[in-house]
Amino acid sequence: MVYLALLFFIVPILELYFLIKIGSLFGAFNTIMLVILTAIVGAYLAKQEGLRTLYKIRENMMQGIMPTEELVDACLIFVSGVLLLTPGFLTDTIGLLFLFPATREIIKDYLKRWIKYKIETRNYYIDL
């Protein structure tokens, strides 16, 4: 709970800092337009990736295969869409990292290791 409180306190401060710094370099209007542009492009890309993942899920389900990887992809794409629609450059950067398949694979591998560690330290076992 402390981490969540820190997240909600530190992220907006960092976003404001970056917005002010970039605004002083490029001007307020250009910075606002850039934030709006990243939201629009990010929403479009998230929709495209989400639809592609949805088709993969449907295809796997029709073949009787449990779409575990695709479900994790769908969750990460959803988080990416939320981050990209949130105004700011830090959230946009993280959102883009979650959106692109190459970096999403790295994030998924990290999440798998983290979940496995959490389960194993509590005397539970799961084979990811």
In the DSSP assignment, the letter for residue 34 is H
Determine the pLDDT at residue 29: 93
pLDDT number for residue 117: 84
pLDDT tens figures, 94-120:
999 999 999 999 999 999 898 888 878
pLDDT reported for residue 87: 85
Domain ranges of the chain: 2-120
How far is it, in rounded angstroms, from Cα 124 to Cα 115? 11
Those residues with Cβ within 8 angstroms of residue 23's Cβ, 6 or more apart along the chain or in another chain = 31
Q: What is the C-alpha separation between 41 and 60, in angstroms, rounded?
A: 29
Average confidence (pLDDT) over 76-102:
90
Poorest-pLDDT segment among 39-53, 85-99, 114-128: 114-128
Both tokens assigned to 125 = 């076992």
Pull the structure tokens for residue 102. Answer: 């190459």
pLDDT in tens, 52-76: 999 999 999 999 999 988 999 999 9
Residue 8: what pLDDT? 85
pLDDT 10s digits, 14-32: 999 999 999 999 999 999 9
Instruction: Output the CA–CA distances (angstroms, integers) from residue 127 to 14, 27, 37, 66, 112, in the order listed.
Output: 38, 52, 42, 15, 10
Average pLDDT of the residues in 71-85:
91
pLDDT band at 121 (very low <50, low <70, confident <90, very high): confident
The per-residue pLDDT for 94 is: 92
Contact criterion met (CB below 8 Å) for 43 and 114:
no
Q: What end-to-end distance do the CA atoms of the chain give, in Å?
A: 27
3-class secondary-structure state, position 1: coil
Dist CA 90 CA 19 (whole Å): 9
